[in-house]
A and B are shown apart, each in its own frame.
Chain A
Amino acid sequence: KAGVTQTPRYLIKTRGQQVTLSCSPISGHRSVSWYQQTPGQGLQFLFEYFSETQRNKGNFPGRFSGRQFSNSRSEMNVSTLELGDSALYLCASCPGTGVTGELFFGEGSRLTVL
């Protein structure tokens, strides 16, 4: 069974540009969530999608947005990039809801903003 796939793995952008990151969850997983990881702030929840609906959103500005497609694949977009957006962006999927069952993470997309 294929794991969570994130593309691209590495990218470099300049301030003011926008970026789109892609995530393909494990087959059958309907929930996809995104996390931002930085040395200073650690792992922070961005948002979660379940069956194409955003169910949860973290405390991030409106420049951060996402969506989920009918095949559960998800994209996140960051507009008007700032230096502080440099981070590892991790996508995770899981089958459904409840407190059991772990998140399955992708290898992440490492974004550098110059």
Chain B
Amino acid sequence: AQKITQTQPGMFVQEKEAVTLDCTYDTSDQSYGLFWYKQPSSGEMIFLIYQGSYDEQNATEGRYSLNFQKARKSANLVISASQLGDSAMYFCAMREPFFNKFYFGSGTKLNVKP
């Protein structure tokens, strides 16, 4: 069964505006980790932000924040004040407990327009 769903294959956003990238997940585990990665055209996966399933506060890292709604099993990424350098693929991922196995969504290609 698909564990991570990203329903937006591609998105456009105007420079300096905020954008939300959607992610829903499926798990029966009580303990899990949720991650967002950015992949520029160069191919390297860049870690952006992490949210633990027991964390009550939404995670924030600079311009990135994670809107975590546990009951709805969603973990949306919010990028504030978009920059041209934010144009990339964005992947939502979930980590199983105890094992270093990550499930990735299909990704969202974000294009920031000047």
Contacts and interface: CB of A to CB of B under 8 A. Distances in A.
Interface in B57-114: 91, 95-107
Contacts of B37: 105
Interface in B9-53: 31-33, 35, 37, 42-47, 50, 52-53
Contact of B47 (A50, A102, A106, A110): A102
B43 A99 contact: no
B42 A107 contact: yes
B50 A102 contact: yes
Interface residues of A, number: 27
Contacts, number: 68
B104 A42 contact: yes
B45 A97 contact: no
In the complex, which range does the number of interface residues on chain B fall in?
20 to 34
B43 A97 contact: no
Interface stretch (A12-20, A60-68, A74-82, A86-94): A86-94
Given A45-B103, A56-B99, A103-B102, 18 more contacts: A33-B101, A35-B104, A42-B107, A43-B104, A45-B101, A48-B101, A55-B99, A56-B100, A88-B43, A92-B45, A97-B98, A97-B99, A98-B97, A99-B33, A99-B53, A99-B95, A100-B50, A105-B45
